Amino acid sequence: MKETHGFSAGDRRFQVKDVFRFGSNQLFQAETGDGTVVYVQEIPLRKPLPPRAASALKVDLRHVSSILDVIYEKQRVKLIHPPLRGDPLSTVVSEKAPMKPLLALEVCRKLLSTLEELEEQSLPLASTCDPRNVCLENGEPYFLFLWIKGYTEPPEEKWRELLFFLLTGGFPKKGEGPDKAVVHERIPEPLRALVADSLNPKHSRKEILKRVQEEILRMKREQEPPPKRTPANPLMRWKKGLLAAAISLALLAGGIYGIWTLSESQAKEQPDDMQRAGISFDDRRQEYVWPEKIQGASLIRGSFIPRKGQPFSVMLTNREYRNSYGFSVDEGRLLVLMSSPDIWYSLVDSEGMLSVEEGSVYNFEITYIPDKPIRYSIWKKDDTRRWVAVGNTPAEHNFQIHFQGGEGTKLLRSEVIAYGEREKKSSWQLSQGSALIQGDRWKMGRSSRVRVNKAPYSFRFLRPEGDASDPVQLVLSSGESNLLLVWGRDGYLRLYENDEGEIASSRVGWDWEPGRESTVVLSNASGGLRISVMQGSRSHVWVYDDRPFELQQVIVAGDDRMELIPSSSGRIVDSYPVPR
């Protein structure tokens, strides 16, 4: 449906080019004032969201359309998306063109697991597997429209019919029982019990998801060729021994950090001093492309020297879809970016936290793990501060690294190594936004989030003198439900539940003072959820026991006026090693 009108959202003006409707939700194809094309999803609300809950809508899940920004208005929420790709499932799958069984199972698994992830968000969300609401791009599905549980009209999730539709291109006949419906020429005999149970209300989504995963493993095992048994070859063992020895000698001679990994042809083209000293960018050379593709979990690290007024960037680029993810230096700021063809989006920046100085040496680390958000860590050499940020979760898997620089900028050294998650899961982890870490103190960025994965759920925080914000907001998760805890400036602790609004409160009994360190401790007690807040010699303890709630995770909702500090009983750490 074509439209020519415009609308405002926040402080921005959008010119609408097209409108798509799904139930009560609308999706606008629009242009901003500078000509950037975006898609704006409008979600009408039945009631206001909890305080600051709109920021929780900026979810980053692989099979959900990327969300660049969230604009909260009184009776609606607008989600800003980059240009959408792929084709609706309703146009890709039909009775004449059903999916092959293994691909159908994979698509089903990804969509069902995403529905589970949406429900586990701090502000629980929902979507529908209606084929009109799912786009498919190169075999990868993603949901278009989202709903907010408890605040919007709930959608028909339609996940029960999903596998039947993928395998047959149609839907079961009305009034036909599951066992009869699956007797269909398009549904393989080994899958009929699974499809029938997915149509049966007696079986839960989690149960069906588990069985889909088991079926995928079974089919993949059946497709694997039998292992070839070859007789041991003494000469081959001798060659392998020489190769291992050569690698060991190379590592001892050069160390791991700072070694360039070049293909044989490119090694011949590169002068020796470039391998030792890196690359200087000028008018003749403004880009260097890493010779090998990045496919698995990888750690990309190196160092560079910026020059005033000149750009520098490190981007992971997928050539097939021309999408890029990475960081750049722009007028002394660090920007975490993503791009679709010819359109760039800034996701996070270091303004007010870390400025990049001309002529200084900066180290960087980019941690790429498939199906997880890309993580960035950048710090000035010999400086104890480091800026960390979380970017998007790429849908693609194969990347090449592009280093670009203006005249006078230098890439001193770089390397790519396989990343193994050998370390234990961190107790604390930045899950959204950015932070400036110095020692054990975290200066939080705008709309940042820190996830506390295990006990002790305790920390200190500091806000500047004169700050008028609520002291702190936390999302508490039991694994089955979420609560929002707000320590307010009015002297109350309040708990909110998404479907019911405020469910309980407790008066602290003393006035919180900005400019002084405060402490929060949360724990599971025999009588319920124990919440302790302290500042100086003053403290308040509240045991919430109105209903069972076993705390399993805490998310600290930060902003650029908050500083997080570990308590004596727990140290804040992140997935990045501390720079030396």
More confident residue, 363 or 246: 363
CA gap 134, 141 in Å, rounded: 6
Does one domain contain both 330 and 406?
yes
The residue segments making up the domain with residue 464 are 435-566
How much is the pLDDT for 492?
94
pLDDT tens-place string over residues 178-227: 888 888 989 999 999 999 999 999 999 999 999 998 898 888 877 766 55
pLDDT higher at 30 or 297:
297
Show Cβ contacts of residue 155 under 8 Å, excluding neighbours closer than 6 positions. Answer: 23, 126, 127, 128, 130, 145, 147
Which CATH number does the domain housing residue 26 bear?
1.10.510.10
Domain assignment present for 230: no
Nearest CA to 455 among 484, 476, 434?
476
Q: Does residue 408 share a domain with residue 267? A: yes
| Banded model confidence at residue 54, pLDDT cuts 50, 70, 90 | low
Do 45 and 34 form a contact (C-beta atoms < 8 A)?
no
Question: Residue 195: its pLDDT value, please?
Answer: 94
d(CA 142, CA 395): 9
Please check the confidence at residue 424 and state whether its pLDDT lies above 90.
no
Instruction: Return d(Cα 62, Cα 393) in angstroms, integer.
Output: 6
pLDDT at 121 (0 to 100)? 84
Let me know whether 485 and 452 are in one domain. Answer: yes
pLDDT band at 284 (very low <50, low <70, confident <90, very high): confident
236 domain residue, yes or no: no
Report the distance separating Cα 474 and Cα 461, nearest Å: 12
pLDDT (mean) for 531-551: 92
Residues 28 and 63 in one domain: yes
The count of structural domains within the chain is 3
Query: Are 150 and 2 part of one and the same domain?
Result: yes
Looking at the domain assignment, is residue 246 inside a domain? Answer: no
Last residue of a domain, one of 383, 418, 453: 418
Same domain, 258 and 290: yes
Residue 272 lies in a domain: yes
Pairwise CA distance, residues 460 & 450, whole Å = 13
Q: Within this chain, do residues 74 and 8 fall inside the same structural domain, yes or no?
A: yes
Region 501-525: mean pLDDT is 92
Amino acid at 331: E
Alpha helix segments (H runs only) across 451-562: none
Backbone angles phi, psi at 293, to 5 degrees: -75, 150
Residue 530, amino acid: R
Q: Mean pLDDT over residues 249-274, rounded?
A: 32
Q: How many helices (H) and strands (E) does the chain have?
A: 9, 37
Give 365 or 261, the one with higher predicted confidence: 365
Q: Report yes or no on 215 lying in a domain.
A: yes
The predicted-structure confidence for 131-187, as pLDDT tens digits, reads as follows: 999 999 878 899 999 999 888 888 888 999 999 999 999 999 888 888 888 889 899
Instruction: Tell me whether residue 555 is in a domain.
Output: yes
Indicate whether 197 and 265 sit together in one domain. no
Asked if residue 455 has pLDDT above 80, the reply is no
- Percent of the chain residues topping a pLDDT of 70: 82
376-387 per-residue burial string, b: 16 or more CB within 10 A, e: under 16: bbbbbeeeeebb
Bond preceding residue 456 cis, omega within 30 of 0: yes
pTM value is 0.62
Q: Do 398 and 279 fall within a single domain?
A: yes
Q: Are residues 400 and 270 in the same domain?
A: yes
Is residue 255 over pLDDT 50?
A: no
pLDDT of residue 567: 64
Q: What is the pLDDT of residue 578?
A: 33
CATH number at residue 477: 2.60.120.200
Indicate whether 240 belongs to any domain.
no
Task: Flag whether pLDDT at 361 surpasses 90.
Answer: yes
Residue range 332-350, pLDDT digits in tens: 899 998 887 667 778 888 9
Confidence band for 425, pLDDT divided at 50, 70 and 90: low
pLDDT tens sequence across 367-419:
999 888 999 999 999 899 999 999 988 877 889 999 999 999 999 988 898 88
> Is residue 368 domain-shared with residue 480, that is, in the same domain?
no
Q: Which has the closest alpha carbon to 570: 471, 454, 477, 442?
A: 454
Query: Which run of H or E residues covers position 209?
Result: helix 205-223
One domain for residues 176 and 56: yes
pLDDT at 122: 79
Please state, in angstroms and rounded to a whole number, the distance separating the CA atoms of residues 338 and 327: 8
Mean pLDDT of the chain: 81
Confidence (pLDDT) at 568 = 53
Give the tens place of pLDDT for each residue, 228-240. Answer: 544 444 333 333 3
DSSP 8-state class, residue 562: -
Q: Is residue 424 part of a domain?
A: no
